[in-house]
Structure 1
Amino acid sequence: MAESKLISVDFEVFGIVQGVFFRKYTQDQGLKLGVVGWCRNTYHGTVAGQIEGPSHKVQQMKDWLRTTGSPSSRIDKAEFKNEKEIKEYTFKSFSIKH
């Protein structure tokens, strides 16, 4: 089976995503899927970050960010930008930045 290419994508999730453990659930989901990257709260009430991994795993993470999130969150929309193929991982794990 051909190994899927590694990709990197930036994300930002809008809605009720702060104060509802969104970052913790995002980190847990990233670790569960085996993608790496980071997420953090922004000053304008969103959660932003970056995901790196095999393209099919990144797609699963994007779907999760778009539709699931944490149990108490309400996702209005998720934006994904700067998707590109990468040669190697930049991050070792999935972390929460403060």
Structure 2
Amino acid sequence: MMIAELTRHLLIEGRVQGVYYRASMVEQATRLGVRGWVRNLRDGPVEAVVQGPADAVQAVIDWAQRGPAQARVTRVAVADMAAAEFEAFEGFVQRGTA
């Protein structure tokens, strides 16, 4: 039986830059077996794409709403991604600012 995989796009707002948010998300996603990436956006939010089993993806989304201790997350916008919108990721990485 194949486990259903999900891909979600996250836009995380609040005090989320300069507080170890991206590196912490890499640690969480890797621990949960989720693939994808995370990066800062020049206008302040953090953006991420998470891909993996539904329960693991939801666990990363739940974590994203809290973030690391120094973060103050005010909003996490979650959007579904259709297969045509993403690649199949290997591992979870931190990308450069966009």
After TM superposition, the score normalised by the length of structure 1 is 0.88
Instruction: Let me know the Cα RMSD of the aligned residues.
Output: 1.7
Letter in 1 for 2:76: A
Deviations 1:46-97 (A, max 9, x none): 100100000111011111111x2111000001011124579xx711110000
What SS does structure 1 have at the residue aligned with 2:52?
strand
Unaligned residue ranges in structure 2 (runs of 5+): none
Partner of 1:5: 4
- Between the aligned residues of both structures, percent identity stands at 28
Structure 1 residues 84 and 56: CA distance shift in structure 2, 3 A: farther
- Structure 1, 74-83 or 23-32: larger mean CA deviation: 74-83
Unaligned residue ranges in structure 1 (runs of 5+): none
Structure 1 residues 7 and 85: CA distance shift in structure 2, 3 A: farther
1:15 touches 1:76 (CA, 8 Å); kept in 2? yes
Post-superposition, which runs of at least 4 consecutive aligned residues in structure 1 deviate over 2 A? 82-86
Q: What are the within-5 Å matches in structure 2 for residues 1-98 of structure 1?
A: 2-66=1-65, 68-84=66-82, 90-98=88-96
